[in-house]
Chains A and B, each alone.
Chain A
Amino acid sequence: MRAPDQATREGSTASSPEALAVSAREISLTFQTADGEVEALSHVDLDIAEGDFVSFIGPSGCGKTTLLRVIADLERPTAGTILINGVTPEAARVQRHYGYIFQAPALYPWRTIERNVMLPLEIMGFDAAERRKRVEQYLKLVNLSGFERKYPWQLSGGMQQRASIARALSFEPALLLMDEPFGALDEIVRDHLNEQLLRLWNQTKKTVVFVTHSIPEAVFLSTKIVVMSPRPGRIIDIISCDFPRDRTLEIRETPEFIRIAQRVRSGLRSGHSYDE
Chain B
Amino acid sequence: MTSSTFSAARPAQIRWHPTVVRYAPVVVIVLALIAIWYVAAVLMNRNIVRDAFERDEIHYTTGDLIVGTLSAERPLLPAPHQVIQTFAEDVFGWPITSPRSLVYHSWVTLSATFVGFLLGATFGIILAVLIVHARTLQKSLLPWIICSQMVPILAVAPIVIVVLGAIGLRGLLPKAIISAYLCFFPVTIGAVKGLSSPDPIQRDIMRTWSATPAQIFWKLRWPSAVPFLFTSLKVSITISLIGAIVAELPTGAQAGIGARLLAGSYYGQTVQIWAALVAASVLAVGLIGIVSLAERWVAQLMGARA
Contact = CB atoms under 8 A, between A and B. Distances in A.
Contact of A106 (B202, B223, B226, B303): B202
Contact of B219 (A94, A96, A123, A153): A123
Interface residues of B, number: 20
Interface in A153-194: 153, 171
A179 to B, nearest CB: 9
Nearest to B301: A110
B140 interface: no
B209 A123 contact: yes
B204 A123 contact: no
A106 B200 CA distance: 10
B285 interface: no
B208 A98 contact: yes
Identify the interface centre among B205, B219, B223: most chain A CB within 10 Å of its CB: B205
Given A112-B303, A153-B305, A72 B208 contact: yes
Contacts of A93: 207-208, 210
Interface string A103-138: 110101111100000011011100000000000000
Given A123-B215, A123-B219, A110 B303 contact: yes
Interface string B208-226: 1111100100011001001
A34 interface: no
A128 to B, nearest CB: 16
Contacts, number: 54
B1 interface: no
Contact of B202 (A72, A99, A108, A124): A108
A256 B210 CA distance: 42
B28 interface: no
Given A74-B204, A104-B201, A108-B202, A120 B302 contact: no
A100 B205 contact: yes
B303 A96 contact: no
B208 A99 contact: yes
Interface residues of A, number: 27
A124 B211 CA distance: 8
Interface in B81-124: none
Contacts of B212: 1
Nearest to A119: B219
Contacts of A119: 209, 219
Contact of A74 (B208, B219, B303): B208
A169 to B, nearest CB: 13
Contacts of B219: 108, 119, 122-123
A147 interface: no
Contacts of A102: 201, 204-205
A243 interface: no
Nearest to B215: A123
Nearest to A105: B201
Contact of A109 (B205, B207, B303): B303
A151 interface: yes
A108 B201 contact: no
B177 to A, nearest CB: 34
Interface string B188-201: 00000000000101
Contact of A1 (B206, B210, B302): B210
A106 B207 CA distance: 13
Contacts of B305: 153
Identify the interface centre among A96, A99, A102: most chain B CB within 10 Å of its CB: A102
Contacts of A96: 209-210
B208 A100 contact: yes
B210 A108 contact: no
Contacts of B302: 109-110
Given A119-B219, A122-B219, A151-B303, A106 B201 contact: yes
A72 B208 CA distance: 7
A211 to B, nearest CB: 14
Contacts of A74: 204, 207-208
Given A110-B302, A151-B303, A124 B208 contact: no
15 contacts: A98-B208, A102-B204, A104-B201, A106-B201, A106-B202, A108-B219, A110-B302, A112-B303, A119-B209, A120-B209, A123-B206, A123-B210, A123-B219, A124-B209, A171-B209
Given A96-B210, A100-B204, A122-B219, 17 more contacts: A73-B207, A74-B207, A74-B208, A94-B210, A100-B205, A102-B204, A103-B201, A106-B201, A110-B226, A110-B303, A112-B303, A119-B209, A123-B206, A123-B219, A124-B209, A151-B303, A153-B303
Interface of B: 199, 201-202, 204-212, 215, 219-220, 223, 226, 302-303, 305
Interface of A: 1, 72-74, 93-94, 96, 98-100, 102-104, 106, 108-112, 119-120, 122-124, 151, 153, 171
